[in-house]
Amino acid sequence: MTDVVLSISNANIYQGASLILSEVNITVSRSEFVYLVGKTGTGKSSLLKTLYGELALKEGQAVVAGFDITGLTWKTVPYLRRNIGIVFQDFQLLTDRNIHDNLKFVLNATGWKDSREIENKIDDVLEKVGLRTKGFKYPFELSGGEQQRVDIARALLNSPKLILADEPTGNLDPETTDEIMKLLFQICKDSGTAIVMATHDYNVIYKYPARVIKTEGGCVIDNASLTS
Indicate if the pLDDT at residue 201 is higher than 80.
yes
Q: What is the pTM of this model?
A: 0.91
Per-residue pLDDT, averaged over 175-203, amounts to: 93
- What's the chain's average pLDDT? 91
pLDDT tens digits, residue range 74-87?
A: 888 888 888 899 99
Q: Are the beta carbons of 171 and 145 closer than 8 angstroms?
A: no
pLDDT tens digits, residue range 89-127?
A: 777 899 999 999 999 999 998 889 999 999 999 999 999
Give the domain ranges of the chain: 32-56+77-221
Indicate if the pLDDT at residue 72 is higher than 90.
no
Indicate if the pLDDT at residue 169 is higher than 60.
yes
Q: Are the beta carbons of 189 and 210 closer than 8 angstroms?
A: no
In terms of CATH, what superfamily is 32-56+77-221? P-loop containing nucleotide triphosphate hydrolases (3.40.50.300)
Which residue in 147, 128, 130 sits closest to 138, CA to CA?
147
Identify the pLDDT of residue 1.
44
Identify the pLDDT of residue 109.
86
Cα distance between residue 178 and residue 208, in whole Å: 9
CA distances from 176 to 57, 144, 179 (A): 35, 8, 5
Which residue in 52, 40, 110 sits closest to 82, CA to CA?
110
Q: Are the beta carbons of 25 and 4 closer than 8 angstroms?
A: no
Spacing of C-alpha 83 from chain mean position? 11
Which residue in 105, 88, 87 sits closest to 96, CA to CA?
105
